[in-house]
Copies of this chain bind each other. A is one copy, B any other.
Amino acid sequence: MTAVNETHALGLRSWVASANAEHTDFPIQNLPFGVFRRRGSGERFRGGVAIGDQILDLAATVASGVLDGAAREAAIAASREQLNEFMAMGPSAWSALRLALSRILRDGAAERGRVEGCLVGQHAVEHALPAAIGDYTDFYIGIHHATAVGRLFRPDAPLLPNYKWVPIGYHGRSSSVVVSGEPIYRPLGQRKGLAEVPDFGPSERVDYELELGFLVGTGNPRGEGIPIENAESHLFGVALFNDWSARDIQPWEYQPLGPFLSKNFGSTLAPWVVTLEALAPFRSPYRRPAGDADPLPYLDAAENSANGLIDIQLEVLLQTKKMAYSGLGPERLSRSSFVEAAYWTPAQLVAHHTIGGCNLAPGDLLGSGTLSGPAITQAGSLIERTFGGRDPISLPSDEKRTYLEDGDTVVFRAWCERNEARRIGFGECAGTVLAPKRI
């Protein structure tokens, strides 16, 4: 658990003017990490930090000579093509670099003259995944989602008996996790309708899942679980994540071993990872609903309970091709909240994942599962939002949607705001569904 420190001060302002705009996602209190290069430049990808509408190029910052000591060492590691080496350095290195960057980017910083040339406009870049994701695990901590979807798949038993004991998770496909903006090709697969024989074709029920992705910083040796008290120190940060799903393929394939082709055609991770340290002012207590038993001891910790969740607001927007042609911007479909959605905390996910001896590695991705609130306007997926496709959404383009059509772009946004703290945001996680490349 990271403490609130000088980098969070509400009054801090940056000499990068756009970082002081009221609604920027990236004020100086945020400083999220990502990987970028100038679009079309053929440059190598390298680490950067978002500040206002700019990116601070960490390789250039190291070269400018304004960093020293632990911050410089950390910045060198964060200048690589992916952030894994930096993630592996642990909280003290992350914190040292964040503090140094906060100081050189502040109003009045003596280093301004040397650092100004290290900025690259965000409009001019393309991103790669922030880390090489060795393994990707998807959890299922959204209890309203689990209940709503469970009702569609298993009307008699929407929430299974293990749900409140086991932070349910499963292994996902790493190779098809792509960075925001990459196209998502509609998958082909088997569907089973009422006929005796399954049919085959492009999925007709492509859906999104509104998730947060927790990126592992330091790992653990195989056979040595991470106690819940230390669990958060192994997490580097949080990014928006879309676990695209094919709802017609899923019910036919998922028994008995879980979803496979209904998920592995693609998952989208946002380019910016907001560090747990930046999220320190927005922590929330973890409380299980009245009447629910305490978790087993390996999932229980006083510290975790006091400050286990993070007060993150989430929203889903949709822009169809027709909307874009008509000059209509993305339309909000839902608003949700991590605190309201989550039955388990990030620390519990780390403790559970490793309790059997499974080894995590720097850059591993832990998806939260779909983060729906209890109301229909808080649904984190279309299967929930449209009651299993029965209640279409009307769009300002006079179109209707149950599931996604080719050309539809889904955008997730998220932010934290509290009276005593500067609002910070997560940038966008966006993807457009395209027709299959081959049929």
Tell whether A111 is near chain B: CB-to-CB under 8 Å: no
Q: A200-B296, A266-B222 are in contact. Are A260 and B171 (CB under 8 A)?
A: yes
Contacts A140-B257, A222-B266 hold; do A356 and B188 have CB atoms under 8 A apart? Answer: yes
Which of A161, A200, A256, A265 has the most chain B CB atoms closer than 10 A to its own CB? A256
Bound-state CA distance A358–B172 (Å) is 11
Instruction: Tell me the chain A residues, 369-398 only, with Cβ under 8 Å from chain B.
Output: none
**Cβ contact within 8 Å between A162 and B253:** yes
Cβ–Cβ < 8 Å partners of A253 in chain B: 162, 166, 168
User: Which chain B residues lie closer than 8 Å to A172 at the CB level?
Assistant: 171
Decide yes or no whether A20 CB sits under 8 A from chain B: no
Which residue on chain B has the smallest CB distance to residue A297? B200
Residue contact A356 to B261, C-beta cutoff 8 Å: yes
* Pair B256/A358 contact, Cβ less than 8 Å: no
Contact present for B171 and A293 (CB under 8 Å):
no
Which residue of the partner chain B has the closest CB to A223? B185
A200 touching B257, Cβ below 8 Å: no
Chain B residues whose C-beta falls within 8 Å of the C-beta of A188 in the assembled complex: 225, 298, 355-357
Verify B162–A255 contact, CB threshold 8 A. Answer: yes
B252 and A254 contacting across the interface, CB-CB below 8 Å: no
Q: Across the interface, do B190 and A165 meet the contact criterion of CB distance under 8 Å?
A: yes
Residues of B within 8 A of A298 (CB): 188, 200
Distance between Cα atoms of A135 and B359 in the complex (Å): 15
Contact A135 B166 (CB under 8 A): no
Given contacts A135-B173, A438-B224, are A358 and B264 in contact (CB under 8 A)? Answer: yes
Q: Which residue of B lies closest to A357 (CB)?
A: B265
Binds B, one of A174-182, A277-285, A312-320, A421-429: A174-182
| Cβ contact within 8 Å between B358 and A175 | yes
Give min CB distance, A437 to chain B, whole Å: 4
Report whether A176 and B254 are in contact in the complex, using a CB–CB cutoff of 8 Å. Answer: no
Q: Do A296 and B190 contact each other (CB < 8 Å), given the known contacts A223-B437, A264-B171, A359-B175?
A: yes
Cβ of A198 within 8 Å of any chain B Cβ, yes or no, is yes
| Interface contact A173-B175, CB-CB below 8 Å | no
**Inside 8 A of A297's CB, which chain B residues have their CB?**
200
Interface 1/0 per residue, A265-309 and B, CB below 8 Å = 110000000000000000000000000010011100000000000
Interface flag for A361 (CB, 8 Å) = yes
Cβ-defined contact, B225 with A169, below 8 A: no
Give me 29 A-to-B residue pairs in the complex whose CB atoms sit less than 8 angstroms apart, sorted by A's number. Answer: A134-B175, A140-B257, A165-B192, A168-B257, A170-B170, A171-B171, A171-B172, A173-B358, A175-B360, A176-B357, A178-B222, A183-B223, A185-B357, A188-B225, A189-B356, A200-B296, A200-B298, A203-B356, A223-B437, A223-B438, A254-B257, A254-B258, A256-B258, A261-B352, A261-B355, A264-B356, A265-B356, A266-B357, A357-B436
- Seen from chain A, the residues whose Cβ lies within 8 Å of a Cβ on chain B are 134-135, 138, 140, 150, 153-154, 160-162, 165-166, 168-176, 178, 183, 185, 187-190, 192, 197-198, 200, 203, 222-225, 246, 249, 252-262, 264-266, 293, 296-298, 352-353, 355-361, 364, 436-438
